[in-house]
Amino acid sequence: WVFLWEKGYQETDSVVSSVTTKVKGVTLTNTSTLGARIWDVADYVIPPQEENTVFVMTNVILTLNQRQGRCPELPDDKTECKVKNNCVPGYVSTHSNGIQTGECVPYNNSIKTCEVFAWCPVEDDYHIPKPAFLQEAENFTILVKNNILYPKFNFSKRNILPTVNSTYLKNCIYDSQTDPFCPIFRLGKIVEAAGQNFQEMAVEGGVMALQINWDCNLDRAASHCVPKYSFRRLDNKDSAHTVSPGYNFRFAKYYKDSNGTESRTLAKAYGIRFDIIVFGKAGKFDVIPTMINIGSGLALFGVATVLCDIVVLYCMKKKYYYREKKYKYVEDYEL
């Protein structure tokens, strides 16, 4: 077990890794608010580069042309009002879009809310777009470039193997059966391989893990040290955990017109964050662990004799018979 299965004759080392990513894909949306619009990498990968992580926006709530000023707050049990006295000047809560001015103003024909000094109009995120705004994101691809090093053995390699040429790299898509070493992954297949539905996940977002395993036996040729990919969902999709599901955040793009008036477009972005997790262990023959394990094995032979004696002399049915054969009782000469 120790020598053959656990390779007790080898010295081991843990992997040191670096990861870079590149996403590709273009999609078209056509809505009454935005009209026909092309979305490319610069629009939906936010930020452009992260460490071992890439976020792809799949759904969004846009609030266009916001300017700082006075406007009605979104209606809820704390902001709805009937008279001015219901609103407190300077009041702000955790979920406020701005600071209350103390006025009670119409939100629509039937509801009045407290006026706030904020970026107006305030964002309305009560209704998340379904289906997801960027449905075609499942056809986007991500190129993962991974370099690994085992410093103890001065062994380095990358997941774009020496056998891969530029022609193959431009056309391949990872498949566990046909293309297990292609470093380009279709987003829909990553989610599917983890047992999830991409279009469902795209609505409110989530977190996926793309795992790269580098377990290598360096007593063999370097060509046998290859990456193994696996996928899983990291955030909780359990129906019992329905409060604040998915993954989202806000960002804004700011503008100034010729008069110096500042405005912004606020985006609440929902999407999937792909975490690239690299792990692995390498082993190579070394005299020291070999001798240590041989010594441990020899020591166990001595322990085995003691254990066998205990079992035979105290646990077996014929223990008295064995005890008579093992020990010879003699009378004391003095007596």
Residue 268, annotated ligand binder?
A: yes
250 in a labelled binding site: yes
Q: Kindly give, in sequence order, each residue whose CB lies less than 8 Å from that of residue 97, ignoring residues fewer than 6 positions away.
A: 73, 74, 116, 118, 119, 122, 123
Contacts of 190 (CB under 8 A, 6+ apart): 142, 208, 210, 231, 274
Q: Give the dihedral sign, CA 42/45/47/50.
A: negative
Q: Where are the alpha helices (DSSP H) in the chain?
A: 41-44, 166-171, 187-193, 198-204, 287-314, 319-326
Query: Annotation-wise, does 191 bind a ligand?
Result: no
Give the Cα separation of 181 and 231 in Å (integer). Answer: 15
141 belongs to an annotated ligand binding site: yes
Going 293 to 298 to 302 to 304, the CA torsion angle's sign is positive
Comparing CA positions, the residue from 267, 155, 168, 165 lying closest to residue 214 is 155
Which residues, at least 6 apart from 165, have a Cβ–Cβ distance to it below 8 Å?
none
Give start and end residues of each alpha helix (H) in 105-197: 166-171, 187-193
Cα dihedral sign, 312-313-319-322: positive
152 is in an annotated binding site: no
Cβ distance 186 to 173 under 8 Å?
A: yes
Known binder of ligand: residue 23? yes
Binding-site residue set: 22-24, 141, 248-250, 268
> Which residue numbers belong to the known binding site for ATP?
22-24, 141, 248-250, 268
